[in-house]
Amino acid sequence: MKVLVINSGSSSLKFELIDMTNEKSIAKGLCERIGISNPIFTYKNLVKGVVVKDRPEPMENHKIAIDVVLKQLQDPENGVIRNVDEIDAIGHRVVHGGEYYDDSVLVNDEVLKNLEELSALAPLHNPANVMGIKVMRELLPGKKNVAVFDTAFHQTMEPKAFMYALPYEDYTELKVRKYGFHGTSHKYVSEVAREMLGKEDSKIIVCHLGNGASISAVQNGKVVDTSMGLTPLAGVMMGTRTGDVDPAAAFYVMEKRGLDLKGIDTRMNKQSGIKGIFGPSSDFRDLASEMEKGNERAILAYDMFCYKIKSYIGAYVAAMNGIDAIAFTGGIGENAFYVRRDICNDLTFLGIKLDDEKAGEWLPGNVEITTKDSKVKVYKIETAEELVIARDTYRLTK
Ligand code: ADP
């Protein structure tokens, strides 16, 4: 059984073909600049180790892009399947499942209708996700498609955690509430952490730190609270997003800078966060290398980033009235060992004791970085969002 995982964005499309007999990825790649100038295609055959990088391809729309993907997968030289019959099902990442979905779902016409309705809540993401599903249904009719939601795992939050103190009808009529995102990662990483802890009853805080970043409190496998909100703008500071700010700051900046809604949306989503404070880049590696040179704005951005995460950890220890483990994941959480170390060294009141050696260097795989007698365990866990999508697709279609 082979599952094709599709993550369709507005101008990009990531794909991965996973063999479910051993859960190994056999090919993956990326279509970039779809529908804009100079589109490029990247592909890796993971069986042979062949890499096709930045190949120019005419990809005027998502249908043509997915066609390029399917042709490449069947390519006699560098492909991994003889024909599309070998693809058993397709799993799609869908950002917003609203209150409709607390689990992944097999796509039918009614599901598609709901997803289109949910585009109002996630206008930057859901329309592109829905397009990916529609194109796949067109190109491979008869194959089953499964939608896997970023929001689903967080649906266990209680109203006291997910409600905003806006007029109640904004919730009942407009569905304005906290949803949370990166759910597939929080689910997978909290499950791995639970296994590493060896304890069913567990209080775990997951810090997913990538370009987008979110923290979640997971008690006995259920999300109690999470840092992102109605949209992925809330919570900790991110690559280009503000994270939490006083909403009135947005009104004030709009007024003073003469921005309309789109203008303030772009400023807060694309020009803020690490990029906004540091300046030249939103990439953590650039930030780290400038910090080493003593760049004050880089140091400020780094300190703000770590402080906010530490504050969320404190809040979530309170939310769960205790904690067993903290798990770091995502591009920054997995690789920037100094972030893990600097945050945890400032949390000694919890009884965290880092193993200096393990906490002070980059390590492969899933590892514990605390000492044996540390009251709270700290883990670095490699996330596997595509695998979660493939597993759910397999579960719902096999
Ligand atoms: P996305 O949210 O786009 O999936 P990722 O989880 O891939 O993002 O994380 C991207 C971030 O991880 C970038 O800021 C990048 O600089 C950072 N990152 C990747 N590798 C390293 C590394 N070795 N050291 C520090 N930061 C890293």
232 lines ligand 1 (CB under 6 A): no
Distance 248 CA to ligand 1 centre (A): 31
C-alpha separations of 223 from 162, 203, 226, 242, 278 in Å: 11, 10, 7, 23, 33
Q: Which CATH number fits domain 199-380: 3.40.50.720, 3.40.630.10, 3.30.420.40, 3.30.43.10?
A: 3.30.420.40
Give residue 333 CA to ligand 1 midpoint distance, Å.
8
Closest CA to 50 of 38, 42, 58: 42
Which of 316, 73, 350, 66 has the alpha carbon at shortest distance from 186?
A: 316
Active-site pick, 150, 225, 342, 392: 150
Helix (H) or strand (E) run with residue 17 in it? strand 13-19
Query: In the chain, pLDDT over 90 holds for what percent of residues?
Result: 95
Specify the 3-state DSSP secondary structure of 249: helix
pLDDT at 10: 85
Picking from 243, 300, 234, 230, the residue whose alpha carbon sits closest to that of residue 272 is: 243
Q: What is the pLDDT of residues 299-313, one digit of tens each?
A: 999 999 999 999 999
Can you tell me the mean pLDDT for 56-69? 93
How many whole angstroms separate alpha carbon 398 and alpha carbon 5?
15
Residue 75 annotated in active site: no
Q: Is the CB of 336 under 6 A from ligand 1?
A: yes
Average pLDDT of the segment spanning 206-217: 97
pLDDT digits (tens, 9 = 90+) for 259-289: 999 999 999 999 999 999 999 999 999 999 9
Tell how far CA 192 is from the center of its chain: 17
Indicate where the chain has its CATH 3.30.420.40 domain(s).
2-149, 199-380
Closest residue by Cα to atom 19, ligand 1, is: 331
* Fold of the 2-149 domain: Nucleotidyltransferase; domain 5 (3.30.420)
Q: Whose CA is nearest to atom 4 of ligand 1?
A: 210
Task: For ligand 1, pick from 184, 188, 208, 211 the residue to mutate: most ligand atoms within 8 Å of CB.
Answer: 211
Question: CA-to-CA distance for 392 and 383, rounded, in angstroms?
Answer: 16
Residue reference for tokens 């709009």 = 254
267: which DSSP letter?
H
User: What DSSP character marks residue 349?
Assistant: G
What gap in Å lies between CA 182 and CA 186, rounded to an integer? 6
Pocket test for ligand 1, best of 125, 214, 332 (most atoms within 8 A of CB): 332
Q: What is the pLDDT of residues 358-380, one digit of tens each?
A: 999 999 999 999 999 999 999 99
User: CA–CA separation, 161 vs 179, rounded Å?
Assistant: 10
- 138: number of Cβ within 10 Å: 10
